[in-house]
Chains A and B, each alone.
Chain A
Amino acid sequence: MRDAYGRVLRAAAVAAGGLLLAGCSSGGGGDEAKPSRGTPSASGTATTSPTARAFTLDPKKAPRNAADAKRLALAIVAGPDDWGPDFAKRTPFLSAPGSWPVLDANCEWEVGALPRSVLYSVTAYSEIPAAGGKGPLRVAATVTVHRTAADADWEMAETLEEALHCPDQQLRQGERITDLQSLGVPYGSDENLDTLMERGSYLADAFKGPQSYSWYQLRIGQVSVAAVVKGAPGRTRAESDDAQIRASATMQERAKNQLGAQS
């Protein structure tokens, strides 16, 4: 707990806000692949000591080509069950292969081409459907497998940079995010883990008033995973946080198991 205190201080330093990068690239895809339903709590590294062991990458497990990367990404990416009990797949569930959203000079997201440094990237869309007067709580998980950890490092930096260049961004027609605030959290216990958060307001034509936006992104070696939640009327911040924590924790644990030396 003492060790955790510093992380707590850092986590608590976020001001407000959120972001969805993933939401703008959809179409195609469909339910072509089912993410792994591994049970991280059972297979995870059961550390009994409060001092967690440093995480070490196993170079033999590093994906080297697009096929490896695809297998890995689909094994990690969070599906509905990973967000919480009430979540269901959206249609399409998975992003189209090769799709890669790009923020243009007008701070609008548009479809771009997969960079050479990316082996594979997939986004899985889930939601708690609208019910009982509450709007749909829409979430997305993105896993991006880079060629190298340094490439993934740059993706983390670029995510932070996007919020500085464009505090207000258009996700797509009728959906905007504003007042985006980003903050990096320092490298974890070793250089293979890195975290950042972005928060802002989400303005959708379909909803009255601003909703919350929260983007949480981790890097494990050459893989980045992101969990994003768009708020909706009637959905609480606690619900959003809960889902985001579950999905992020699950994806991190899967990535560590897939890439780590100790699994």
Chain B
Amino acid sequence: MSPMADPEPGALQPLLPADPSTIAGYRLLGRLGAGGMGVVYLGRTESGELAAVKVTLADHADQPDFRARFRREVEAARRVVSPWAVPVTGADPDAPEPWMATAFVPGPSLGEAVRAHGPLPERSVRILCGAVARALAAVHAAGLVHRDVKPGNVLLAVDGPRLIDFGIARATGETALTATDMVVGTPGFLAPEQAEARTDAIGPPADVFALGCLLAYATTGRPPFGSGAVDALMYRTVHDEPDLAGVPEDLLPFLAACLAKNPADRPAAEEIADRLTEGIPGTSADWLPAPVVTTIAERSAAMLALPDIDATAPGTDPAAPARTSRRGFLLLGAGAAVIAAGGGAFALLDRRDDTGADGKHPAPKPRNNWAIGVLADLSGPAREIGRAQERGARLAVERFNAVHKGKPFTLELKVSDDRGERTGALAAARRLTTDPSVLAVLGPTSDDTGIAALPAFEEAGLPLLTTSAGYNLFTLRGESGGAPNTTVLRAIPNHFMASVYLAWSTTLLPQIRRPGVLQERTDDQYSWQCNSGARFGFKQAGIKPYFRVVPGRATDYRSIIGEMIDSGIDAYVHNGVRSTAVLAARALKELGFTGPRFTGQHVFGPEFLKEAGSDAEGWFVCAPVMDPVQRAADPKEKAADRKLTQDFLDAHSKRYGTTPAFYTGESFDVVDLVTSWLATSAAKGPLSRKGLWGALRKQKHTGAMGGYQFQDNGELTGIGTFLYGVQKGAYKYLGPAPAEPQKKA
């Protein structure tokens, strides 16, 4: 996050063309913020760690004494040791543009969290301000004054807050207020002696005053001296009493002391920490409200996807003699050369004009027949899902044509079967991407085929909307300054997030203390991402799981599960594919295990029930899709929403003579989202692929299966994970997965 300006939530911005690609060994991945003094980048160190790198512009650095001061303060800041202060990891005051690096915390700032989710509950505030007070005590013990304690400088992490930007490069006689980087809303966090620029009077109590403002802000959502014009704000800070309406009563006297006009009357930071956290056992895993935790989880997922392989590794030179022998290795995964070449190719393609799919034709002429594509596994291992997706898409297109009767255009459905095979997927994709009538494509069904097919869509600038592919990097990429996702919209959660929600679903059963989590490597990209999500989710819930990893070819689940039971597991989580879940279900039953069993997307579906038979009874399965029949009958849904679902059921029944399979409804909705946008936009100008992804991404669509909204990176907003229980050989819909871990009694 930016110490210089509060970025918008989730704001990791791409590098600008003028930005360097490295600073002093930090490979820059994106911008975290910018202000008048300089820029804060997200960088990666040579050792691979993420860092916030703050660079001061040369103009400012050339002010008299700046560098000496900068150096002194860096040295002092390095002495600050507190679990609640972000450590300085590197600095160079003598560089033409002096820079300082600190460890990077992916959480939102307090300011972002309050703006997005409102004030925090009292317990969270006590833990928050107690920890910030302890960080300030460490700052003061190091002989420093922070001078800029504000919501933008407090980052929220799962295990507690972190204070950033302590005491760096604050000029003597210069208050933060005069820095050009101040944005409206933060001046309200200055002490009177700062507001009056009484430099000699500025000491640790100024930070205590700011902490008081922070506490008031976190509990009420408002700075205690208001906001608005800076001079009026300064006047109020110096002369007026703070507005503390809404602050819990037992915090009031204490807060008033922090906000005393006379610095000498304010308590010391250490004392504040003790008083705030009295009776609260340290920080705990569940200190933040659920929506804030979700924000942290989403950002952590994005960080997981940040490329970390340097483009300068060997093999990039095509003339290198070892090329052939190295190729096999590169293909296996550490392929820096492939990254460099691949990245370069995509960068070129990105710069291409919208000249049509094959690059030869000028922009397409207005036409009145357009097509929606479907790229799906219609004959391979995931054909049940693929066929369901095709049916949903067909229904949406037919309905569009029935309603619009050729005006302004008729839509066709063009279907390409990728057979669930990686090798043929690219060719299957090109059948759609090279067809200029195709405006958007529903697909892919599977992660593997999607990985193979994606380049075709990126080349062609053709939006790809998936209702079943959860592989993280379809959307979570590009933060490195390379090409971000501008191709995929994902109407389901990625595997990491889905697994976080699965972990939180287990907490609906309060007795679970030690779940056994099995990572089974048949589909390794799925299972390791699920495992990472489970690790995060259980940590947040304060639960320590017992992890096991087994090869994909392992079949002796009796001994694997037996060993887990002997280790004392009281629940079982299967992060793996269906065939092994069937083996696990049998083993659990044979061994007489009585605890609950959970699994996720790649097990969900009718085949699991068929293959596991009675062994599946009682399992809980988290899926990214809803059952429309149960939704239409769910009294918890609004009547208007249920009607949309019922209309879809009726249309499906009329068209196909059956109730829809899983994934049909979501596919119908996603194609409906596209056709609705096309219908309203056709009047405004010729349709084209250009800009379509961005336009679709901004849609807020209410469909038969619920609402859809997307984040900037094309990820679904919201939970999108639904819990089913296997009862009498069928999936009984139990409700959406919880948005937070259930508190233990």
Contact = CB atoms under 8 A, between A and B. Distances in A.
Interface of A: 1-18, 40-41, 44-47, 52, 55, 150, 153-154, 156-158, 160-161, 164-165, 182-189, 191, 193-195, 197, 199, 201-202, 209-212, 214, 216, 218, 231, 235-238, 240-242, 244-246, 248-249, 252-253, 256
B451 interface: yes
B331 A52 contact: yes
Contact of A249 (B306, B326, B342): B326
A153 B329 CA distance: 18
Contact of B304 (A15, A241, A252): A15
B335 A4 contact: yes
Contacts of A246: 314
Contacts of B307: 12
B325 A11 contact: no
Contact of B329 (A191, A237, A253): A253
Contact of B338 (A7, A16, A52): A7
Interface residues of B, number: 73
Interface of B: 25, 44-50, 89, 303-310, 312-315, 321-336, 338-339, 341-342, 345, 422-423, 426, 448, 451-452, 454-455, 471-473, 477, 519, 521, 523-525, 527-529, 531-532, 535, 547-554
Going nearest first, the 3 A-B pairs with the smallest beta carbon separation are: A212-B47, A44-B325, A6-B451
B336 A245 contact: yes
Contacts, number: 220
A253 B523 CA distance: 25
A182 B314 CA distance: 23
A5 B455 contact: yes
Given A1-B338, A153-B553, A184 B524 contact: yes
A210 B103 CA distance: 12
A241 B315 CA distance: 12
B328 A244 contact: no
Contacts of A18: 48
Contact of B341 (A1, A46, A211, A245): A1
B297 to A, nearest CB: 14
A16 B535 CA distance: 16
Contact of A164 (B89, B312, B531): B531
Interface hub of A41, A164, A246 (most chain B Cβ within 10 A): A164
B47 A231 contact: yes
B422 A157 contact: no
Contacts of A12: 305, 307-309, 339, 473, 477
A153 B550 CA distance: 8
Given A16-B50, A252-B329, A6 B338 contact: no
A194 B524 CA distance: 10
Contacts of A9: 451, 471, 473, 477
Given A240-B46, A245-B336, A249-B330, 4 more contacts: A12-B308, A237-B46, A245-B330, A249-B326
Given A14-B308, A209-B89, A238-B310, A3 B48 contact: no
Contacts of B547: 161, 164-165
A117 to B, nearest CB: 13
Contact of A156 (B305, B341, B551): B551
B553 A188 contact: no
B455 A238 contact: no
B521 A184 contact: yes
Contact of B325 (A150, A238, A249): A249
Nearest to A18: B48
B550 A157 contact: yes
Contacts of B472: 13
A6 B339 contact: no
A153 to B, nearest CB: 4
A3 B452 contact: yes
Given A9-B451, A15-B306, A44-B325, A185 B313 contact: no
A212 B331 contact: no
B45 A237 contact: yes
B524 A186 contact: yes
12 contacts: A1-B342, A8-B338, A15-B304, A16-B44, A18-B48, A45-B325, A186-B525, A187-B524, A195-B334, A199-B48, A212-B46, A236-B46
A238 B313 CA distance: 6
Nearest to B306: A15
A64 to B, nearest CB: 21
Contacts of B322: 40-41, 249
Given A153-B551, A157-B551, A2 B328 contact: no
Contact of A185 (B315, B333, B551): B333
Contacts of B345: 1
